[in-house]
């Protein structure tokens, strides 16, 4: 009887504890592990510290940062020491650019990324700027894993240099990784015989399926497609837990979630590290309310990691005063009068490169986008020379615009002859009479307005594919390339691009990268003779 009472009491006490929650069995939502993802995007060869301001907040405030791979290494090491679970270090591409790339062919940058602690890297378009052969050599013996999920590398020099997918186990969690390249890949870099093997959505769908079949608990897409396409990807492809993006050159002010997929972007030039902390349930799912998104500014107060700093010094001491990229057999005239008062042969050369690369109908760049303000004599073309010419590092933008607005843009250019807003062109043939009535525009609360249409354009014709010329058709839509200053910011009062243009796309290609890529292939770059594309007619 006594034993029966003890058994009954024990059973009742156990039931009480269970019902009261004091002795509850672990549920499937109990947190069992913490993960941290840390990384950057679009480092662009910015290995040294450099003072600048960066917009890292959700209120538009600027923060003074210095960046630099040695300080990034310190933050990575500190994060790993402080982490309550695995800390995974990522790069979403476009790390190969600038002086260290042109001097050491990518090996210095990739070596320093490995020393700093990067573990997984998605290839960006600029990694291919000097061709897949050089990239393959740079990837030899790297400490990180390079991914190329949507690149057809079989049978090319890149075969074996990168992986289509990766599964890594962190404690009891298997994480699957894949990468995506910008759809503009064939047009924005030197691809050689490497090509895309499918659309972003098709490749991502396939990767998610394969990684799940291989036992991945979480799936991370390391993308180089830009934030807009990241959001579209998350909306159309189920099963991606995290998109760590690049190619947009901007940090997201806050963590975004689309279709249960977390989205972040690594910004540019190492101004900050993106950090994402999260807890997982016992069934290895992300607990949404546990996710914390942080931007860690790389400021001067961050000490340099000595091992990384010493390796950087090893390469810095070998840098020449200026990196020779090629040569020119004739002078480059870039004084203000040459680029702002009529046809400039240097602008012709650069605009023609843009026309050829992006296969548009028209290229328009304001004269003020071509800097230097002097004559560069025949001889060596260096990186410092190209940086002087492309002082503002304006990205090339693509858009579509109707002929009637294109004509208004050209009239506006004719009203600015002699100024930085005067347009240099490709794909067009113009005659301008400065003695005629000038266009006038005025800004109002609701936007800009043309007060006087202008009469200075005597003739304007579009070059056809067979190199014949035709008048601009008012209702026809033309494919146009210009720069961010005009397309995005309405610089020099060019409001038509943003107001009437459609399908705007940032190519993330600068004049510097365009010229450097061309020189890597051609070695010699000479401005052409004037072809009469801009004729200034006097009475």
Condensed to tens digits (0 to 9), the pLDDT of residues 311-322 reads 999 999 999 999
pLDDT > 70: percent of the chain: 93
Instruction: Please give the DSSP secondary-structure letter assigned to residue 288.
Output: G
61 versus 122: the higher-pLDDT residue is 122
- What gap in Å lies between CA 246 and CA 148, rounded to an integer? 14
Condensed to tens digits (0 to 9), the pLDDT of residues 360-410 reads 999 999 999 999 999 999 999 999 999 999 999 989 999 999 999 999 999
Exposure string for 337-351, b = 16+ CB within 10 A, e = fewer: ebbbbbbbbbbbbbb
Condensed to tens digits (0 to 9), the pLDDT of residues 127-151 reads 999 999 999 999 999 999 999 999 9
Task: List residues bridging with 334 in a β-sheet.
Answer: none
What average pLDDT does the segment 115-125 reach?
Answer: 98
pLDDT of residue 16: 33
Task: List residues bridging with 449 in a β-sheet.
Answer: 442
pLDDT of residue 446: 73
Condensed to tens digits (0 to 9), the pLDDT of residues 89-100 reads 999 999 999 999
Read off the pLDDT band of 1 (50, 70, 90).
Answer: very low
Condensed to tens digits (0 to 9), the pLDDT of residues 434-473 reads 999 999 998 876 778 899 999 999 999 999 989 999 999 9
Q: What is the mean pLDDT of the chain?
A: 92
- Mean pLDDT is highest, among 24-38, 55-69, 459-473, for 459-473
What average pLDDT does the segment 491-495 reach?
Answer: 94
Do the Cβ atoms of 264 and 227 come closer than 8 Å?
no
C-alpha R_g of the chain: 28
pLDDT of residue 58: 61
- Distances in Å between the alpha carbon of 527 and those of 16, 244, 501? 88, 41, 31
The encoded tokens of residue 412 equal 């506006």
Q: Which domains does the chain have, with CATH numbers?
A: 31-316 (3.60.21.10), 324-536 (3.90.780.10)
- What gap in Å lies between CA 414 and CA 436, rounded to an integer? 10
Read off the pLDDT band of 52 (50, 70, 90).
Answer: confident
- Beta strand residue intervals within 369-468, DSSP E: 375-376, 379-382, 395-402, 423-426, 428-432, 440-444, 447-452, 457-463
Predicted confidence (pLDDT) at residue 3 exceeds the cutoff of 90: no
Read off the pLDDT band of 246 (50, 70, 90).
Answer: very high
Do the Cβ atoms of 105 and 488 come closer than 8 Å?
no
Predicted confidence (pLDDT) at residue 20 exceeds the cutoff of 50: no
pLDDT of residue 60: 56
Do the Cβ atoms of 346 and 333 come closer than 8 Å?
yes
Read off the pLDDT band of 32 (50, 70, 90).
Answer: low
Predicted confidence (pLDDT) at residue 489 exceeds the cutoff of 50: yes
Condensed to tens digits (0 to 9), the pLDDT of residues 187-243 reads 889 999 999 999 999 999 999 999 999 999 999 999 999 999 999 999 999 999 999
Minimal CA–CA distance to 478: which of 421, 380, 390, 407? 407
Considering all CA atoms of the chain, what is the largest pairwise distance in Å, rounded to the nearest integer?
Answer: 124
Contacts of 454 (CB under 8 A, 6+ apart): 411, 412, 414, 415, 436, 437, 438, 439, 440
Predicted confidence (pLDDT) at residue 22 exceeds the cutoff of 70: no
pLDDT of residue 31: 47
pLDDT of residue 133: 97
Read off the pLDDT band of 84 (50, 70, 90).
Answer: confident
Q: Where are the alpha helices (DSSP H) in 359-492?
A: 383-389, 403-415, 484-487
Predicted confidence (pLDDT) at residue 484 exceeds the cutoff of 60: yes
Contacts of 103 (CB under 8 A, 6+ apart): 315, 318, 319, 320, 323
pLDDT of residue 363: 98
The encoded tokens of residue 301 equal 């107060």
The pTM of the full predicted model, rounded to 2 decimals, is 0.85
């Amino acid at each position: 009887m006594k034993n029966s009472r003890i058994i009954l009491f024990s059973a009742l006490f156990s039931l009480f504890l269970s019902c009261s929650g004091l002795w509850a069995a672990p549920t499937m939502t109990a947190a069992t592990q913490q993960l941290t993802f840390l990384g950057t995007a679009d480092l662009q060869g910015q290995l040294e510290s450099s003072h600048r301001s960066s917009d890292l907040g959700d209120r538009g405030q600027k923060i003074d940062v210095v960046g630099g791979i040695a300080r990034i290494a310190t933050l990575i090491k500190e994060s790993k020491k402080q982490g309550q679970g695995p800390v995974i270090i990522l790069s979403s591409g476009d790390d190969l650019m600038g002086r260290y790339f042109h001097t050491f062919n990518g090996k210095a940058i990739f070596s320093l990324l490995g020393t700093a602690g990067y573990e997984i890297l998605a290839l960006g378009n600029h990694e291919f700027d000097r061709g897949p052969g050089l990239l393959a050599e740079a990837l030899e013996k790297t400490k990180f894993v390079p991914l190329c999920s949507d690149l057809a590398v079989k049978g090319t020099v890149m075969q074996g240099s990168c992986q289509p997918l990766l599964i890594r186990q962190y404690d009891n969690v298997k994480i699957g990784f894949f990468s995506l390249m910008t759809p503009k890949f064939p047009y924005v870099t030197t691809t050689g015989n490497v090509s895309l093997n499918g659309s972003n959505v098709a490749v991502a769908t396939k990767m998610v399926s394969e990684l799940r079949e291989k036992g991945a608990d979480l799936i991370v897409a390391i993308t180089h497609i830009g934030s807009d396409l990241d959001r579209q990807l998350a909306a159309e492809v189920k099963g991606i837990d995290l998109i760590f993006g690049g190619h947009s050159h901007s940090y997201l002010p806050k963590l975004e979630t689309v279709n249960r997929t977390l989205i972040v972007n690594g910004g540019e030039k190492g101004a900050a590290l993106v950090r994402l902390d999260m807890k997982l349930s016992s069934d290895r799912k992300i607990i949404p309310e546990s996710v914390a998104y942080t931007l860690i500014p790389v400021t001067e107060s961050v000490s340099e990691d000595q091992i990384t700093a010493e390796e950087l010094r090893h390469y810095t001491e070998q840098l020449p005063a200026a990196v020779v990229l090629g040569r020119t057999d004739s002078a480059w005239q870039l004084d203000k009068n040459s680029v702002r008062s009529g046809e400039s042969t240097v602008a012709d050369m650069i605009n023609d490169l843009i026309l050829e690369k992006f296969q548009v109908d028209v290229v328009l760049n304001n004269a003020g986008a071509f800097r230097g303000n002097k004559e560069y004599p025949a001889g060596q073309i260096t990186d410092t020379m190209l940086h002087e010419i492309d002082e503002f590092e304006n990205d090339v933008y693509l858009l579509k615009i109707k002929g009637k607005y294109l004509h208004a843009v050209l009239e506006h250019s004719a009203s600015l002859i002699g100024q930085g807003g005067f347009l240099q062109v490709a794909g067009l043939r113009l005659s301008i009479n400065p003695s005629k009535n000038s266009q006038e525009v005025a800004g109002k609360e609701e936007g800009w307005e043309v007060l006087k249409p202008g009469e200075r354009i005597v003739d304007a014709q579009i070059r056809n594919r067979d190199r014949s010329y035709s008048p601009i058709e008012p209702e026809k839509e033309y494919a146009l390339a210009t720069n961010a200053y005009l397309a995005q910011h309405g610089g020099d009062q060019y409001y038509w691009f943003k107001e009437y243009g459609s399908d705007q796309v940032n190519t993330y290609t600068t004049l510097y990268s365009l010229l450097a890529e061309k020189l890597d292939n051609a070695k010699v770059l000479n401005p052409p003779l004037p072809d009469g594309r801009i004729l200034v007619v006097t009475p």
